[in-house]
Structure 1
């Protein structure tokens, strides 16, 4: 599902979201995904360009790909499909679940992510080696 122009917008202060970004970086050897914090100016601009209003406390990761923005479970599973291999197979199986069920589970985790995983005071900054993959 991911193309060379796929961008993942994530909550830059959320430990779970930062862990997800680290997971994608580790498993995306081809470097197909780029990243931007939802709180950043570029992240906010991408949201607005796709008709999504930025909010103070984001509730979803967003996958921007092929001119479309995907949110909630569609975004997370789209990223997994873009990683290929076993991750794509797992995503394909999970996509068999109806979206309302997938999104309900996603929202449950999103509502509790700061309590369960913690949060940072400021957005995570990439290392110099990874900076080119961040907007």
Structure 2
């Protein structure tokens, strides 16, 4: 897995867990590799649809880097790998398990994310310093 320079992460802007993931990435992505698009926004919906995912029933994590797209645990592993340093360790651990198994577990968690972690009424609003990293 290589670092994903200038890649876009499509996330659920209403999901408490997903917003926590984005805040984690904003804190640890010191090189600004990743941009973000809420799947409820115009850019996020368009990226989901362009890569064969239903914008009205999103149960997948999407990482888009140029013309390549990665979903679910493959996307998570690539993002962690791209952070470098100690974050390459969990990326390597993820890769040990068969993708079919880990993606099945991921989708189960994704389907239950609102029930387990909660849901915001509105999408996350980035700070002025972070706004340039978010697509509309």
Q: Does the alignment reach a TM-score above 0.5?
A: yes
The alignment status of 1:31 with 2:32, answered yes or no, reads: yes
SS in 2 for 1:94: helix
Deviation at 1:71, TM superposition (A): 1.0
Match of 1:6 in 2: 7
Deviation at 1:47, TM superposition (A): 2.1
Count of matched residue positions in the alignment of Structure 1 and Structure 2: 134
The alignment status of 1:115 with 2:115, answered yes or no, reads: yes
Match of 1:80 in 2: 80
Runs of 4+ in 1 over 4 A off after TM superposition: none
Match of 2:96 in 1: 96
CA RMSD of aligned residues (A): 1.3
Distance 1:30 1:112 in 2: 32
More deviation, 13-22/81-90: 81-90
What does 1:42-57 correspond to in 2, within 5 Å?
42-55=43-56, 57=57
Structure 2: runs of 5 or more not aligned: none
Q: Given the superposition, is the C-alpha separation of residues 121 and 106 from structure 1 closer, same or farther in structure 2, using an over 3 Å criterion?
A: same
